[in-house]
Chain A
Amino acid sequence: MSTPISPRALELLEDMRDNFEQGLVPLSVYNDPELSEVELDRVFNRNWVFLAHESEIPEPGDYVLRTIGEDPWIVVRDESGTIRVLLDSCRHRGAQVCRADKGNASHFRCPYHGWTYKNSGDLAGVPHRVESYRELDLKQWGLVRAPHVDTHRGLVFACLAADAPELSDYLGGIAWYLDVHLALTEFEVLGDPHRWVVGANWKIGAENFAGDSYHTESVHRSVVEVSLFPSILLKHGVAAQGKRHISGLGGHAANLNHDVGAPEEAQFWGYPSEVTEQFDAEGMDPDQYELAKWSKLSTGTVFPNLSYLCSAFVDAPGRPAGTVLMLRQWQPRGPAAMELWSWILVPKGASDEYKERVARVATASFSPSGNFEEDDTAIWSTIARTAGSRYARSRNLKLNYQMGMPGMAEIERDENWRGPGVALMSDLEDGGQRTVQRRWIEEMLRP
């Protein structure tokens, strides 16, 4: 699946690659129409891309309409319980056969001429077939299926490349960090995902969750000021004892804040005992369980555009906290816009009261109206404007991603770290973000 790329775009990418190890990144990659065309093909249409959580489609026939890059794909559980990912395009003239965001259907019937597909994608019926389509081979004209679909702990992914690595190989070490959350108990999506459109490039979000701890003290200061979040979790420096930035995971990255203390001080991101009682150490190795036990805040990015966040928040000062595990996807919508999709995950066995508290604190912190989120997107949208400037493009203006690099700081590697990847004992460095970028350059330069 080779895709064309203009000489100008190629030159920009090669220059980025050549200067990359010095921590220099061209500003214009955050708003470039040519690159954003190329990345739909080279990044989104051939890497494993997140689509849904299994709890969104528990029953046969349940479906949700999602996108890979900007293309519409139906994610459906067929009658046999198998999850299928089907291009939402009738094989006859291309009309969309699914017009709802979600629902339950045994068949998808195209409104244009009435071709009917089973929820497995197989073509089941063609009007006037006997009179006019006698030789039509139904088997050849089913909805196009994503060639590779797989799940990891409830997360549904698809890969459109003909030759895809196994999902487990693709995820590699980041699966270990995902499982520190997802293997503790069974999670489900709370309601429906939030969706909103922000005038910023999707990579800004992916990088931010991969390890931009540096922004929190400045951008999120107001939230601490009004006592909606403990300041200790946003402070760097000495207070950053238990902070780790994990890179070396092949394009994925994680950011952890944990604090090993006395046994009765177990943290579990602030989950209340009614939830932690249901946690099961059986599903994970002891090192993962130990990490979960002392964790206060985690974020991470799975290349290309899935991120996660877990921490406890409140929606008003003095209220009991609720712990939010959020899945976040940065969907490209052209070079200077993305659609944010955001799922709140709750432990399936938690009480309805606790789930409602989580809905409240998650909405108040990370959602379109989130007291945290509002400030991030307000800043990100200004990046697209400067990145699209003629000046940035014509001079190949570079941004500084050198934080914590050799010469800038002596950051120790945690030699006792039990998880995969390289664990740096500081959250004041850009390694996670460079990891995402490095993988992005590789994908973009791979014909």
Chain B
Amino acid sequence: MNDVPLQWEARQHAMDFLHLEADLLDRRRLPEWLELLHADLDYRIPVRTTRERSATTTFSAAAFHMIEDRSTCQARVDRFASEFAWAEDPPSRTRRFVSNVQALYADDARDTIDVRSNLLVFRARGEDAAIHLSGERQDVLSRGPQGWQLRSRTVLLDHTSLPTLNLAIFL
């Protein structure tokens, strides 16, 4: 599928989705963000290690900073709504920068898009020094009755040791 207008259209859908998503997450409108998640969501942030150049991968096959489905994301959002969820009280101030979006339809019905993009998250929390998390997202979006939803996401972080006291935010 190398049709240029189709690629352009797929990228436009993907960018609209990613920008909306970033906005909801940055504004901490988490229940609305949940609605963007497909019922069969598969969401992973594999642990990364520093390896020699000859290594075939630097990502762990079995260890994850997050390994989620729709229900576990719901559980996390419910927990953050508790008045005892100290991790995000006071809440982080975040800003997600999404760029370098490449997108392709993955099926002839144009209901699935494979997306690659870069993500930079700025996070400030209380008086702590602000941190950045940086990585690549590999997403699959799928179109349903409610519009586009996130079907799967793998976040390939550039960090081995995370520079953050916790990952109480979604990437």
Contacts and interface: CB of A to CB of B under 8 A. Distances in A.
Contacts of B160: 101, 195
B65 interface: yes
Contacts of B88: 374
Given A222-B82, A363-B64, A368 B162 contact: yes
A369 interface: yes
Contacts of B86: 219, 222, 375, 378-379
Most B Cβ at <10 Å: residue of A355, A368, A377, A382 = A368
A225 B82 contact: yes
Given A196-B165, A225-B84, A228-B75, A191 B61 contact: yes
B78 interface: yes
B99 interface: no
B75 A316 contact: yes
Given A360-B67, A369-B65, A223 B79 contact: yes
Interface in A367-405: 367-371, 373-375, 377-379, 381-382, 385
Given A102-B49, A363-B67, A373 B166 contact: yes
Nearest to B59: A192
A28 B21 CA distance: 43
Contacts of B163: 196-197
B82 A221 contact: yes
Nearest to B53: A100
Interface string A79-103: 0000000000000000000011111
B63 A369 contact: no
A197 B164 contact: yes
Nearest to B45: A369
Interface residues of A, number: 49
A195 B79 contact: no
B51 A101 contact: yes
Given A316-B71, A368-B65, A375 B85 contact: yes
Contacts of A316: 69, 71-72, 74-75
Contacts of A319: 71
B131 to A, nearest CB: 9
A317 interface: yes
Given A190-B62, A316-B71, A374-B87, A196 B51 contact: no
Contacts of A39: none
Contacts of A221: 82, 84
Interface string A296-329: 0000000000000000000111010000000000
Interface string B28-72: 000000000000000001010111100100001111111111011
B65 A363 contact: yes
B165 A371 contact: no
B63 A371 contact: no
Contacts of A199: 128-129, 165
Contacts of A17: none
Contacts of A367: 64-65, 167
A193 interface: yes
B55 A381 contact: no
B168 interface: yes
A377 B165 CA distance: 6
A363 B66 contact: yes
Nearest to B55: A103
Contacts of A1: none
Contacts of B49: 100-102, 192
Contacts of A99: 50, 52
Contact of A378 (B45, B87, B129): B87
A223 B79 CA distance: 7
19 contacts: A99-B52, A101-B49, A103-B52, A191-B60, A191-B61, A195-B161, A196-B164, A198-B165, A198-B166, A199-B129, A225-B82, A226-B82, A228-B79, A315-B72, A316-B69, A374-B168, A375-B84, A378-B86, A382-B126
Interface of B: 45, 47, 49-52, 55, 60-69, 71-72, 74-76, 78-79, 82-88, 126-129, 160-168
Given A221-B84, A374-B167, A378-B165, 10 more contacts: A100-B51, A196-B163, A197-B163, A222-B86, A359-B67, A367-B167, A369-B66, A370-B166, A374-B85, A379-B86
